[in-house]
Chain A
């Protein structure tokens, strides 16, 4: 158990809908990362927040947005969902934001299925 929690574990929804995925980092961690893992694809970095501010952006679609709240939990909002958004979404956290040497601790993931 990494100490990172994600809810919900599974989510099934329809195309065109909007969902929110939630992540609570390890106690004391200030940085949160979001990743997408689609079938037969590697981990695709979406976005990173540090202490409430966006730090780095990856291949995140415009239909997706994220934020980190004052209590450091983070939410990933996915809207106008398409079939291709079906994936496993991971959140990870790290203590600081030293950039290169931060070890990330991954949550259990949220499995999103869009029908």
Chain B
């Protein structure tokens, strides 16, 4: 089992604020890291797949960076909007081992 930690567990920000949160995972034998966005009453949606140390991915106002040597990834949201309110999950993958999702960071953007 991969030990995955996400912090903070929940976050409240004002509309327009930028924010970031962390996913920590064991750095040994790392293969890939997935970020998912999960809105209430919906199902998780893939955001990014990251594989290389130093990788940076961007989708609109959301971006993510990866540090495989120290075992963490940051997700950034620039200028948060109410529609960004969701739980953000990370899932490090190591080959064909069973999938382990973090507990998630629940983001609430206050208008």
- Do A and B truly interact? yes
Q: How many residues from A make CB contacts under 8 Å with B?
A: 24
Residue interface bits A15-52, CB-to-B below 8 A is 1, else 0: 00000000000000000010000000011010010000
Interface contact B89-A100, CB-CB below 8 Å: no
Interface contact A100-B32, CB-CB below 8 Å: yes
Once the chains are docked, how many angstroms separate the CA of A105 from the CA of B89?
14
Interface contact A99-B44, CB-CB below 8 Å: no
Task: Say what secondary structure dominates the interface of chain B.
Answer: loop
Q: A99-B93, A103-B49, A109-B43 given as contacts; is B98 within 8 A of A57 (CB)?
A: yes
Once the chains are docked, how many angstroms separate the CA of A102 from the CA of B94?
11
Interface contact A106-B98, CB-CB below 8 Å: no
Once the chains are docked, how many angstroms separate the CA of A103 from the CA of B59?
16
Q: How far is the CB of A95 from chain B (nearest CB, A)?
A: 12
Interface contact A101-B49, CB-CB below 8 Å: yes
* B103 on interface, CB distance cutoff 8 Å: yes
Question: Per a CB cutoff under 8 Å, which of A48, A55, A97, A106 touches B44?
Answer: A106
Once the chains are docked, how many angstroms separate the CA of A102 from the CA of B91?
11
CB under 8 Å from chain A, chain B span 36-71: 42-46, 49, 51
Once the chains are docked, how many angstroms separate the CA of A58 from the CA of B100?
9
Question: Per a CB cutoff under 8 Å, which of B98, B100, B102, B104 touches A48?
Answer: B98
* A77 on interface, CB distance cutoff 8 Å: no
Once the chains are docked, how many angstroms separate the CA of A106 from the CA of B51?
21
Q: A100-B32, A101-B32 given as contacts; is B96 within 8 A of A90 (CB)?
A: no
Residues in A neighbouring B96, C-beta threshold 8 A:
55-56, 97, 99
Contact surface of A with B, Cβ cutoff 8 Å: 2, 33, 42-43, 45, 48, 55-58, 90, 92, 97, 99-109
List 8 A-B pairs, minimum CB-CB distance, nearest first: A100-B31, A106-B43, A100-B93, A100-B32, A42-B103, A43-B101, A58-B98, A45-B99
Q: What are 10 of the A-B contact pairs (CB < 8 Å)?
A: A42-B89, A42-B103, A45-B98, A56-B97, A56-B99, A58-B98, A92-B44, A101-B93, A104-B44, A104-B46
